[in-house]
Amino acid sequence: MATTIATLQKMKAEGKKITSLTAYDASFAKLFIECGIDFMLVGDSLGNVVQGRDSTIPVSVDDICYHTEAVRRGAPAGFVVADLPFMSYSQPEQAYQNAARLMQAGANMVKLEGGEWLEHTIQGLVTRGVPVCAHLGLLPQSVNVLGGYKVQAKEQAQADATLAQAQKLEQAGAQLLVLECIPASLGKRISEALSIPTIGIGAGADTDGQILVMHDMLGLNSDYLPKFTKDFLAGQGSLRNAIIAFRDEVQQGQFPAPEHSYR
């Protein structure tokens, strides 16, 4: 049965862990769906892992549209979230126009990074029929402001502010929330406080689901493997087995383990 927003909401309500991976082409999209991955993200991480850039900032709306179309062709019934890239949603009208392009390319939902400054934009998108995934914690598009890829909200005041922002984004209409590189305790607090599903990447084991960049999950970035990921291909013998191992470990609560999380 095809995944929908209602499916993800039901999984949260029933305590079933959600699995997600980034996807950029038709072949992997098809394989992910066959292996039971709940949804896919056409991430602006393609700038790093596909285009060989040192950040996500050069990625364009055209790039995301191209890869979204490819993923949709590979997984006609899959649930696909597409990133709105850097500075493509700085004003609400701009966000509406670019979100329309991504939805027409095949996305079921768009994702944008940031806190309460996006409330009006999220409200406008949802009103116009565009489902929204929000993103808090480490924001890769803001890496130059943050001064690098660092764990966020380690102090109590910052953690409280992140929780408050998550609640405001939910109230604005976001139906999914990605939490990246925050202490596991904060990932738990936010997940328990919200009625929408939370998807962690370096946010501990208590979020409602987990997402990884597919290249990290397969150990393809041999020069650097982030603390929050794991090489699932090692010892598995095939891509299919690696994807199933990721799915099973997330569903069974075995991944992420404490060594993949931040305090």
Query: Would you list which residues are annotated within the binding site for Mg(2+)?
Result: 44, 83, 113
Return d(Cα 245, Cα 236) in angstroms, integer: 8
Catalytic residue among 119, 180, 192, 259: 180
**Cα–Cα distance between 152 and 216 in angstroms, integer?**
21
What b-and-e string marks burial along 157-187, b requiring 16 or more CB atoms within 10 Å of the CB?
eebeebbebbebbbebbbbbbbbbbbbbebb
User: Binding site residues for 3-methyl-2-oxobutanoate, as ranges?
Assistant: 44-45, 83, 111
Q: Which residues are annotated as a binding site?
A: 44-45, 83, 111, 113
Is residue 180 annotated as part of the catalytic site, yes or no?
Answer: yes
Q: Which residues contact 220 (CB under 8 A, 6 or more apart)?
A: 49
Indicate the SS3 state at residue 224: coil
Q: With contact defined as beta carbons under 8 Å apart, do 84 and 107 qualify?
A: no
Reported as type and span, the H/E element at residue 210 is strand 209-212
Alpha-carbon gap, residue 100 to 104, rounded angstroms: 6
Residues designated as active site? 180
